[in-house]
Structure 1
Amino acid sequence: MHLKIGTRRSPLAMAQTNYIAGLIKAKHPDTEFSLVPIATMADKDRVSEFHQFGIVGVFSTEHEEQLTSGEVDIVVHSLKDLPTTLRDSLALAAVPGRENPRDALCGSTLGELRQGARVGTGSLRRRSQILSLRPDVEVVPIRGNVGPRLAKINGDDGLDAVILAQAGLERLGLAEATTEQLDPMLFPHAVGQGALGVQARTADAAILALLKDIEDENTRAEVDAERAMLHALGAGCSLPVGVCTSWRDGRLALHGQITSLDGQQRLTADAERPPEQAVELGLEVAETLRVAGGVAILESSYRSFGSHFKFVGA
């Protein structure tokens, strides 16, 4: 079988795509691949803020269009960037084993950040969470690939630290840039962070069967719970919702958190269930957060976050 794989052009996206191709090749040695670079709306526009793209699908819309049209056979996503609602003709066909989902602080530890330190991130969730833990810091919005973001530490932009995904650093061989991995119970990561998702057409039975061989059941349960929670809250992947999953005696535990943009409000909820009830687990945590007032915080974030971010160029 020959597969055309759609992928972004960034070094991280290419590394992730080659990793997926390697997993498939290990199970099906006769499979051949062609990589098809796809430029997303966020790749084409390096100036606008993420909310100006409409939040949902900033990094996935063009991939889904080419998959639907038949120009590619599968696409590889950082699962945290894939909307919780997929097109009817497409499926999240495989979720391989998850890498480290934690966020990493590069340039300083949390406790050693100086008073008034300038911390760079392009994420509203990370912005809200760092302000919740360190209200004295100044958050500087940044965009760009991992390498250029790291270069902003002690560079011309005068950043003391940046917050990045540990999984991305590890996939690029840059784990040594991590100063501290943040505790996911205090600094819960994005939904799906550290996991990759492979999309395919629902009509391609042979491809779906092939991709099933690289699925990891535990990771799938984790992300199903996380994505169900996010979907039930009506929150896009750009809003300040964090999660943390863990396993306890064969049961899946989910910790969810919603944080206001100024970091002053933080709501949490926890529950656990058997892995076959992953979706129900996500819905349970979402309902607890909703009843506690989480939706109001998210709605306020959605209305106001445009005024908070003026991105430092990549």
Structure 2
Amino acid sequence: MSPNASPTISSPPRTIRIGSRKSQLALVQTYWVQEQLQKSFPDRTFEVHTMSTQGDKILDVALAKIGDKGLFTKELEVGMLQHDIDFAVHSLKDLPTRLPEGLILGVVTERENPADALVVHEQHKDKQVDTLPAGAVVGTSSLRRLAQLRHHFPHLTFKDIRGNLNTRLQKLDAGEYDAIILAVAGLHRLGMSDRVHQILPDKVSLHAVGQGALGIECRADDQEVLSLLKAIEHVPTRDRTLAERAFLRELEGGCQVPIGVNTQLDGDTLTLTGIVASVDGKKLVKDTVTGAASEAEHLGIQLAQRLREQGAQEILDEIFTQIQRG
């Protein structure tokens, strides 16, 4: 460099702003993503920005009565489209299968156990889901769980439960419920694995689409963010959840529709099982498809079409009619 030349001053890397809901579980998940990205890119700055969504504010009405999965994502999506935040961390089960124009599911992280858990009141610590006494009150806010449990255990009483995980556990411990159903993954992430009394087997409760995985949503044209996010992508989980989300998208189901899934990956072979059930649990159709993981979305669509042929469409039509009637 000549004595008179000015040194080149490079601008600092762009600060990446991460959007999150304010709930304890959402923040645990978001800070985990922030930590993983910081490890991969120590020279970058990743800031967490929080906001409340409609689903966080309406806690006294059943989810099925107030809208679809967008309840937990819309405000974050507006933030991305307005460039207030660069990406948002979601529990993948909360992320709609159809996203606003300009936004995409950037990556999916490695999945925790996607199963449902039975959590019991102290007086039932010697019971399993199939030995709870007749009339025992079981709390769940999920129509998927409700429909499957009603199908298998019609002698139990089911009652809606809302609020964050700690609030639900407090209601259980106070005796408002004999048992509640929660996601194993959420309990594990909050350090409450000891509250898992029983992991419900697949034959009793197929899990929600995307349950146990984190989905990171971002602007479709933000190549810088997309390239950074690739560092935390988990390809096997991505393939499994792509199949699940295609299945749900093809059936056009949201929070109000009892749809459950299970996926298994054996090498490059993906097996997808799905159910559609009526809310009262009296009707339930179930089937399985197997194929190449590279054809994950096609498998999801194929399974949806097979269940439609077996009566799923009639069940869905009945549910949509009930919703429209209020």
Report how far residue 249 of structure 1 moved. 4.4
Report how far residue 204 of structure 1 moved. 1.1
- 2:51 is aligned to 38
Determine which of 36, 40, 58 is the counterpart of 1:27. Answer: 40
Is the aligned partner of 1:49 residue 2:62?
Answer: yes
Greater shift, 267-276 or 102-111, is seen at 102-111
Is the aligned partner of 1:303 residue 2:321?
Answer: yes
- 2:141 is aligned to 122
Cα distance between partner residues in 2 of 1:85 and 1:185? 29
Does the CA contact (< 8 Å) of 2:118 and 2:129 recur in 1?
A: yes
Report how far residue 154 of structure 1 moved. 4.4
Q: Read off the aligned partner of 1:95 and give its amino acid letter.
A: V
Does the CA contact (< 8 Å) of 2:112 and 2:212 recur in 1?
A: yes
- Provide the TM-score with structure 2 as the length reference: 0.90
Cα distance between partner residues in 2 of 1:289 and 1:169? 32
Cα distance between partner residues in 2 of 1:237 and 1:277? 26
C-alpha change, 1:258 and 1:40, in structure 2 (3 Å) is same
- 2:193 is aligned to 175
Greater shift, 210-219 or 247-256, is seen at 247-256
Determine which of 12, 16, 30 is the counterpart of 1:17. Answer: 30
Q: Read off the aligned partner of 2:29 and give its amino acid letter.
A: Q
Is the aligned partner of 1:94 residue 2:129?
Answer: no
Cα distance between partner residues in 1 of 2:80 and 2:223? 15
Does the CA contact (< 8 Å) of 1:23 and 1:214 recur in 2?
A: yes
C-alpha change, 1:86 and 1:148, in structure 2 (3 Å) is same
Alignment partner of 1:153: what SS? Answer: helix
Alignment partner of 2:134: what SS? Answer: coil
How is 1:129-140 mapped onto 2 (pairs within 5 angstroms)?
A: 129-140=148-159
Q: Read off the aligned partner of 2:253 and give its amino acid letter.
A: A
Report how far residue 52 of structure 1 moved. 4.0
Does the CA contact (< 8 Å) of 1:245 and 1:255 recur in 2?
A: yes
Q: CA RMSD in A?
A: 1.6
C-alpha change, 1:56 and 1:12, in structure 2 (3 Å) is closer
Determine which of 149, 152, 174 is the counterpart of 1:155. Answer: 174
Report how far residue 94 of structure 1 moved. 1.0
Deviation by residue 1:98-125 (Cα, 9 ceiling, x = unmatched): 1110000100521231111100001111
C-alpha change, 1:190 and 1:307, in structure 2 (3 Å) is farther
Cα distance between partner residues in 2 of 1:137 and 1:224? 34
Determine which of 72, 75, 95 is the counterpart of 1:59. Answer: 72
Q: Read off the aligned partner of 1:216 and give its amino acid letter.
A: H
Cα distance between partner residues in 1 of 2:239 and 2:230? 14
Alignment partner of 1:199: what SS? Answer: strand
- 2:183 is aligned to 165
Q: Read off the aligned partner of 1:51 and give its amino acid letter.
A: A
Determine which of 297, 300, 308 is the counterpart of 1:279. Answer: 297
Greater shift, 265-274 or 244-253, is seen at 244-253
Alignment partner of 1:87: what SS? Answer: coil
Greater shift, 18-27 or 94-103, is seen at 18-27
- Provide the TM-score with structure 1 as the length reference: 0.94
Does the CA contact (< 8 Å) of 2:64 and 2:255 recur in 1?
A: no
Report how far residue 31 of structure 1 moved. 2.3
Alignment partner of 1:200: what SS? Answer: strand
Structure 1 residue ranges without an equivalent (≥5): 309-314
Deviation by residue 1:157-197 (Cα, 9 ceiling, x = unmatched): 2x110000000000000010011001124310000000100
Report how far residue 44 of structure 1 moved. 2.1
| Percentage of identical aligned residues | 38
Cα distance between partner residues in 2 of 1:184 and 1:302? 26
Cα distance between partner residues in 2 of 1:154 and 1:37? 30
Cα distance between partner residues in 1 of 2:61 and 2:80? 26
Report how far residue 299 of structure 1 moved. 2.3
Cα distance between partner residues in 1 of 2:133 and 2:173? 13
Q: Read off the aligned partner of 2:316 and give its amino acid letter.
A: L
Is the aligned partner of 1:105 residue 2:126?
Answer: no
Deviation by residue 1:221-262 (Cα, 9 ceiling, x = unmatched): 011000000000111144100000012343010000111111
Cα distance between partner residues in 2 of 1:189 and 1:306? 26
Aligned residues: 307
